[in-house]
Amino acid sequence: MIRRTVVIMSALAVAALTLTGCAQPVDPVDPGSDAPTSTEQIVIDTTFDIATIDPGREYEPTGQIVVKALYDTLLTFADNDTTTVIPDLAEYTANDDLTEFVFTLVGDRVFSDGTAVTADDVVFSLNRLIGMKGNPSFLLDGVTITKTDDVTITMTTEESNPALPAVLATPSAGILNSKVVIDNGGTTDESDGAETYLNSNSAGSGPYVLEMMDVATQAILVKNENYNGSQKPTYEKVILRNVEPATQKMNVERGDAQVAMGLSGDQVDALDSSVSVSSTPSATVVFLLMNSNPKVNEFTAKPKCVEAVKAALNYESILELAGRGASQATGVVPAGFLGALPQSEAPKYDLEAAKVAATECGMTESTITLSLPNDIDPAGTSLTTVAQRIQQQLAEAGITVELAPAPFATEIDAYRTGKEQIGLWYWNPDYMDPANYLAFGPGQTVGLRAGWTAEMNPAAAELVAKAYTTGDLNDRKTLFQDWGRLMNAESPFIPLIQPGSNVAHQPSVTNVYYNPTWLINVAGLGAA
């Protein structure tokens, strides 16, 4: 069978998702010293969105930052280029129809305890990801993973899987020391009991090891003395703190933190001129979902009522709340990804049409609940402020909405179990390929959160199936655009904003690049 090296195209942009909290005090780098190039430690302020740092279970943005630092993956992306998959622990080839991928371990890499990374570790780690059935297990749906020899692993799929290399660069696909994890309760099925151990210890081959982790306050990482990969970390210690945005701004201005990741556009504009800002387009999409399940709400389940809400939204007015670098989302696939729709095809505001549709569907006779996490600001965009403006705009169309804000930790369950009538949420890509956004399709992960089954829209479901398995770039682009147009016209999702990504940092910190999946690679940060 002829083999070829595969190049996977993906997003050029990044985003930060955030959750507020209070950090425990740590010793900051002295901003008044004459040694801005000190590499003893770096303090990064963000707002935490994290539940676990077990690679096979973690699925939140802050968790991705930590896991990326602790665990190597088979493949990765360069810090300043998220378009081409490159080797990390392994090189690979694939057959022409992208159903068989062969990985060869390279570089005699070792775990933090000095033992060699082997094919057995790879097979265990990835089969554990699949078998535990945690949040990220869907990433390897339909993939069979087997050991060929001590340094070779073969992965097969029944259908073409052009996104697989990008998936394997995701922190959730991090490779664990199988002996250590098994000794601490690890298995490759739902009986796995290693999460507690992995939340306080690291078992990877990454550039850092875990010193401490508190999901409410801070994570402390220190250099892995046995690391023998290509990306040698600059800083001896990384302190990642959970800090609300206003305090982040003050901290980075006075040098108590060297990086601030959760500032709004207004806060970035108001920064002291001594602070540098790295700005890039975001891969985050802020969206509304309207539940298609009539048992949740009879009105949100009516296509005519969805049409009314889409037309009632003044998208330009909502966009004003997002600040620097933001744009109106043209669809669920953001600009920068293959198959994204042009700005001319973004949803349009039409108040008169909204009033007619709302009356026809009976929506004006009811009060509907709009739920949202109120302690999280994706890429610095306040969901609470956005929700308030949406409430005002819908009222102009005769649609009465009651806001139901709740902490992320509370609201995430209602969102994931499909109990929200209208939900205001955001999506940051799990891996750097447009196939990740197919989760919004009927019968898919996010589609089902909106009560939208495949039977409700067979045409959309068929396009999803084709887009998942089509390898040719031109064909993929056409499929994703066709699917995007159908989604804008018929889905229960209303894309609102594609925020910008603005990262404030002290000038002494260099190589500040964002990634759509792991947000920032702390091992790649440099010192001027």
pLDDT in the model for residue 483: 98
What gap in Å lies between CA 217 and CA 25, rounded to an integer? 9
Task: Say yes or no to pLDDT of 461 above 80.
Answer: yes
The band of 323, judged by pLDDT with boundaries at 50, 70 and 90, is: confident
Task: Say yes or no to pLDDT of 177 above 50.
Answer: yes
pLDDT in the model for residue 473: 81
Joined together, the tokens standing for residue 436 give 């990740």
What gap in Å lies between CA 281 and CA 355, rounded to an integer? 34
pLDDT in the model for residue 176: 98
pLDDT in tens, 130-150: 999 998 999 999 999 999 999
pLDDT in tens, 228-240: 999 999 999 999 9
Task: Say yes or no to pLDDT of 10 above 60.
Answer: no
Read off the pLDDT of each residue in 267-285 and give the average, rounded to a whole number: 89
**Least confident range of 63-72, 174-183, 270-279, 427-436:** 427-436
pLDDT in the model for residue 428: 84
Joined together, the tokens standing for residue 187 give 């298995």
Amino acid residing at 324: R
pLDDT in the model for residue 500: 84
Task: Say yes or no to pLDDT of 217 above 90.
Answer: yes
pLDDT in the model for residue 37: 59
Q: How far is CA 162 from the centre of its chain?
A: 19
| Other CB atoms within 10 A of residue 27 CB | 11
Burial (CB < 10 A; 0-12, 13-18, 19+), residue 254, is middle
What gap in Å lies between CA 453 and CA 292, rounded to an integer? 9
Joined together, the tokens standing for residue 369 give 């609940």
R_g over Cα of the chain: 23
pTM as predicted: 0.77
Task: Say yes or no to pLDDT of 17 above 50.
Answer: no
Q: What does the DSSP 8-state code read for residue 324?
A: T
pLDDT in the model for residue 26: 42
Burial (CB < 10 A; 0-12, 13-18, 19+), residue 185, is middle
What gap in Å lies between CA 4 and CA 1, rounded to an integer? 10
Give the CATH architecture of domain 3-280+502-527: 3-Layer(aba) Sandwich (3.40)
The band of 253, judged by pLDDT with boundaries at 50, 70 and 90, is: very high
Contact 496, 329 (CB under 8 A): yes
pLDDT in the model for residue 248: 97
**Least confident range of 18-27, 310-319, 380-389:** 18-27
The band of 484, judged by pLDDT with boundaries at 50, 70 and 90, is: very high
129-132: Cβ within 8 A, 24+ apart:
129/55, 129/56, 129/172, 129/173, 130/188, 131/187, 131/188, 131/189, 131/190, 131/192, 132/56, 132/57, 132/188, 132/189, 132/190, 132/192
Measured N-to-C along each axis, helices 458-469 and 473-490 cross at an angle, to the nearest 10 degrees, of 160
**Least confident range of 82-91, 115-124, 126-135:** 82-91
What percent of the chain is predicted at pLDDT more than 70?
93
| Other CB atoms within 10 A of residue 34 CB | 7
What percent of the chain is predicted at pLDDT more than 90?
79
3-280+502-527 matches 285-498 in fold: no
Read off the pLDDT of each residue in 355-374 and give the average, rounded to a whole number: 97
What gap in Å lies between CA 424 and CA 374, rounded to an integer? 10
Task: Say yes or no to pLDDT of 12 above 80.
Answer: no
In this structure, the chain runs to a length of 528
Joined together, the tokens standing for residue 418 give 């499909």
Give the CATH architecture of domain 285-498: Roll (3.10)
More confident call, 337 vs 52: 52
pLDDT in the model for residue 322: 86
pLDDT in the model for residue 14: 30
Which of 369, 363, 370, 366 is CA-nearest to residue 386?
A: 370
What gap in Å lies between CA 222 and CA 236, rounded to an integer? 6
Mean pLDDT of all residues in the chain? 91
pLDDT in tens, 30-40: 444 444 458 99
Task: Say yes or no to pLDDT of 393 above 60.
Answer: yes
Domain ranges of the chain: 3-280+502-527, 285-498
Contact 134, 141 (CB under 8 A): no
